[in-house]
Amino acid sequence: MTKFKLLATAAMGLESIVADEVKALGFETQNENGKVFFEGDEAAIAKANLWLRTADRVKIIAGEFTATTFDELFEQTKALEWEKFLPVDANFPVQGKSVKSKLYSVPDCQAIVKKAIVERLKKAYHRNSFLDESGARFKIEVSILKDKVQLSIDTSGAGLHKRGYRTGQGEAPLKETLAAALVKLTRWSPDRPFVDPFCGSGTIAIEAAMIGQNIAPGYNREFDSEFWPWMKRKVWDDARLEAEEAADYDQPLDITGTDIDHRLIETAKANAMEAGFAELITFKQRQVKDFTATGESGVIVGNPPYGERIGEIEKIEEMISDMGRVFSAYPTWSVYMLSAAENFEELYGQKATKKRKLFNGFIKTDFYQFWGERPKNT
Ligand SMILES: C[S@@+](CC[C@H](N)C(=O)[O-])C[C@H]1O[C@@H](n2cnc3c(N)ncnc32)[C@H](O)[C@@H]1O
């Protein structure tokens, strides 16, 4: 087994949640510029990909150096032992980004990195002709921040938000990684009721069910690094077996998703079925103003529509007031809403116990938290 410097990438605002998840898997983390680094071997790569719910991707750092000229970028990239990672037939697209750096032309940086790796591999594999790139995929990224170059290889492939259960979606589905982060922020435990009154395609409810039964979010999908020749099949098989054993399918769940749009309820049901929760999550059509629930200390989590047009905003403001009124009948329940409405608390009729800034894609939102009272008999 080899030790790698690994990076779990996170959307803006989710870095500390990703770091907590990496730590919970047993790794020490180092946070730099919103990036979560950790060290691990092949088994760590498999484990992190299978289990991280809130990270975007897991990458191997192939090299780091300073470069202010194209020559420096080329020579230092070529000096890295790419043949340790990439077989002769590797398919290695190169992507890039550059922030506050002398080398600001991203297409040029990508082309130079590509050329340097091609030269390195040709020499290492004694090839004079071109490399046909017909084999496994190794997505390379050249990321430059203040002249510091970081070259990484993506072990995930498709982003980790692709869990493999989404059959359809509404207009503004929440990314699975953000939905999982919202559930984690509520500190919900599976013995408590859970309701998403704006469930849309069911993302939050499905992520809650996976958390509730300790199901690895990546269990039903593939990752690029599974197909790398030096990555032993057994490493992934063992990680999947371990995930299967850790799943608690007997954990009862009381999770409900409701939405005003009955077509989305059908989509949510299809997604839940795909995720293996057809019988475990209740989805039904209902307007938030008709909210009812049973049980104590439940958790209500959702992202109500934000609204962009004037008529829509009025309707949404009325809906937030309705919410405040109907939820006040459940004093032991906690309410968590992700909203872009800056006057949310005013409309809701209560000051939030806590707020947390989060980005939903590029939309700046707050996660408004209204904590419930302790039930009288505890
Ligand atoms: C931003 S989307 C939620 C997306 C969802 N989290 C997902 O991942 O698919 C907002 C949802 O609120 C629903 N909605 C709008 N007005 C509503 C109301 N008055 N009561 C209940 N649901 C409503 C919409 O149909 C839409 O599905």
Report domain extents, the chain. 4-154, 176-213+248-370
Report the nearest-CA residue for atom 1 of ligand 1.
305
Per-residue pLDDT at 310: 66
- Residue whose Cα lies nearest atom 16 of ligand 1: it is 260
Per-position DSSP letters for 312-359, written without gaps between them: HHHHHHHHHHHHHHHHTT-TTSEEEEEE--TTHHHHHTS--SEEEEEE
- DSSP letter for 197, please: T
Indicate the pTM of the whole model. 0.96
Task: Give the per-residue pLDDT at 172.
Answer: 77
Kindly give the distance from the C-alpha atom of residue 62 to the centroid of ligand 1, in angstroms, as a whole number. 43
Is-contact 51 23, C-beta < 8 A?
no
CATH of domain 176-213+248-370: 3.40.50.150
Contact 86, 113 (CB under 8 A): no
Strands 281-285 and 255-259, by their bridges, are: parallel
In a 3-state reduction of DSSP, which class is residue 57?
strand
pLDDT in tens, the chain (378 residues): 789 999 999 999 999 999 999 999 999 999 987 799 999 999 999 999 999 999 999 999 999 999 999 999 999 999 999 999 999 999 999 999 999 999 999 999 999 999 999 999 999 999 988 899 999 999 999 999 999 999 999 999 999 999 999 987 777 789 999 999 999 999 999 999 999 999 999 999 999 999 999 999 999 999 999 999 999 999 999 999 999 999 999 999 999 999 999 999 999 999 999 999 998 999 999 999 999 999 999 999 999 998 777 678 889 999 999 999 999 999 999 999 999 999 999 999 999 999 999 999 989 999 999 999 987 765
DSSP 36-62: EEEEE-HHHHHHHHHH-SS-SEEEEEE
Cα separation, 65 vs 58, whole angstroms: 20
Q: How far is the CA of 201 from the centre of ligand 1 (A)?
A: 9
Specify the CATH number for 4-154; select among 1.10.1200.10, 3.30.2130.30, 3.60.10.10, 3.90.1150.10: 3.30.2130.30
As beta bridge partners, residue 59 has: 7, 154
Ligand 1 atom with least separation from CA of 286: 21
Residue 377 pLDDT: 65
Mutational test site, ligand 1, from 175, 258, 260, 290, max ligand atoms within 8 Å of CB: 260
Ligand 1 centroid from CA 196, angstroms: 9
Q: Report yes or no: 39 and 4 within 8 Å, Cβ to Cβ.
A: yes
CA–CA distances in Å: residue 20 to residues 69, 159, 260 = 38, 19, 35
**DSSP letter at 248?**
-
Within 6 A (CB) of ligand 1 lie 169-170, 172-174, 197-198, 200-201, 203-204, 259-261, 264, 287-288, 303-305, 319
Q: How many CB atoms lie within 10 A of CB 291?
A: 18
Distances (CA, A) of 246 to 211, 251, 357: 12, 12, 33
* 16 CA to centre of ligand 1 in angstroms: 28
Joined tokens for residue 284:
């039904």
The protein residue with its alpha carbon nearest to ligand 1, atom 5, reads 200
Task: Dump pLDDT digits (tens) for 84-98.
Answer: 999 999 999 999 999
The tokens for 187 are 């500190």
Report the C-alpha gap between 158 and 39 in whole angstroms: 22
CA of 89 to the centre of ligand 1 (A): 47
